[in-house]
Structure 1
Amino acid sequence: MPRILLIDDDQALGEPLAAYFQRFGLELVQALRPSEGLERLRQGGFDAAILDVMLPEQDGFALCRAIRAGSDIPVVMLTARGEVMDRVVGLELGADDYLPKPFEPRELVARLQTVLRRRGPRVGDGRLRFEGLVIDPVTRTVQRQGDVVELTSTEFELLLLLARQPGRVFGRDEILNELRGHEAELYTRAVDILVSRVRRKLEPVAAIKTLRNAGYALALRAAESPAHG
């Protein structure tokens, strides 16, 4: 059963939400303070985290940054205002999805199921090998010129989407539909942020090219022989 960590200082939220999650085969554990949540994540055993933006000690954005410093666990953020800028900032920090408060528990479950499904290994897929880059869909790892690159779940899915059809141009809306499911609101700015992050992590390999007014494509040629690693 997947274990989800909720970091939210609303004590009345955890128990009824945990009972609801159980109906969908999810175990929910609540931490009321960021420090407690970080300690629980350090101990391991969680498959995803839900962060409230308005928290004591530090806000959800700072907490997301702290989590991303040492983990690529899927993160869903709860934004009280639901403003686009909150979501853009969260994406830049590595969050996988958002849900404005007040939210429907069923929608939160759906978002979590989506990020957990994306994270799951795809058994039977072979490595995708390009000049300077090796992508392993099974272990969800990326090597750039022999060095392991740390990508978040969403960053990996973006790269894998492009790598499975190298040279094909994917429009922004198409990418968002593929990565975030049909329930998420579409923000084309989110794709630009994701591409920028992935490009930065893959440097000096120039993996993704931009086609003006069209979208993005993988710009690498397939490797002639298997790369090491």
Structure 2
Amino acid sequence: MAKQILLIEDEAAIADSVVYALEREGYAVRWHTLGRAGLADFAQMGADLLILDVGLPDQSGFDVCRSVRQSSAVPILFLSARAEEIDRVVGFELGADDYVPKPFSPRELVARVRAILRRGQPAPAAGHVLKHDTVRAQISLQGRPLELTRYEYRLLAALMAEPERVFSRAQLMDRAWDEPEASFERTVDAHIKSLRAKLRERDPLFDPIRTHRGLGYSFSWHKP
């Protein structure tokens, strides 16, 4: 499945060159010109990496980054005509993974994107082998299939698909339930609890599902 990149850039000429270069490399790119539209897209669809222009018409890329970092550790790369040291420092302090000044080479940008995504794929912790067989709709831990209900499977699959992303209960219900409007959000809590129990039953030291109070849940290979 192609990596999903969300580009928020208001200059069409720059955006066109970035989209073209990334799509040639096999990435799927969604483009917005405004920070608000980009944040709404990210909240709904998520992404594997964000590319943010600092000087957006409605709000700065720094503000967009702050909003994203409240609930997600998704990699972020800044594009900016402001190449001063202080701007780069601010970007990195806000949680950016890279900062590319304009003008830039699309080829170099693609190389930086590739490097960020390569770094952002954490290996499973030693001894914890969790594999998702999408063809058989089956998730295995330590080489043995987990006995999951339909909703437990869909929840775990959604969380595993985007490690470190914080999903709200409503977002998880949209992904796991056929008719989410007919269920209560607290139903997610009950299924997460049973999921954790089944994972710990197989491996007492493996607890990859994180609770984010007031926000929702995420999946992480790293120990808390």
TM interval, short-chain normalised? 0.5 to 0.7
Partner of 1:104: 105
CA deviation vs aligned residue, 1:20-70 (integer Å, no higher than 9, x gap): 212211122211000000000001241100001111111111111011112
**Change over 3 Å in CA distance of 1:120–1:53 after alignment to 2:** same
Partner of 2:30, secondary structure, is strand
Aligned pairs (5 A) from 1:190-209: none
C-alpha separation between the residues in 2 aligned to 1:16 and 1:140? 29
C-alpha separation between the residues in 1 aligned to 2:68 and 2:41? 11
Task: Give 1:140 shift.
Answer: 6.8
**Unpaired runs of at least 5, structure 1:** 128-138, 142-146, 151-159, 161-226
C-alpha separation between the residues in 2 aligned to 1:33 and 1:123? 36
Q: Is the 8 A contact 1:121 1:140 kept in 2?
A: no
The alignment-based identity, stated in percent, is 43
Partner of 2:65: 64
C-alpha separation between the residues in 2 aligned to 1:112 and 1:66? 21
Q: Which has the higher Rg, Structure 1 or Structure 2? A: 2
**Change over 3 Å in CA distance of 1:12–1:140 after alignment to 2:** closer
Q: Is the 8 A contact 1:53 1:60 kept in 2?
A: yes
TM-score using structure 1 length? 0.54
Superposition CA RMSD, Å: 3.0
1:30 is the counterpart of 2:18: no
C-alpha separation between the residues in 1 aligned to 2:72 and 2:48? 11
Partner of 1:125: 126
Partner of 2:202: none
Q: Is the 8 A contact 1:4 1:48 kept in 2?
A: yes
Q: Is the 8 A contact 2:81 2:103 kept in 1?
A: yes
**Unpaired runs of at least 5, structure 2:** 129-162, 166-208, 213-221
Partner of 2:91: 90
CA deviation vs aligned residue, 1:78-134 (integer Å, no higher than 9, x gap): 12121111111111111111100001011111111111111113146347xxxxxxx
1:7 is the counterpart of 2:8: yes
Count of aligned pairs: 139
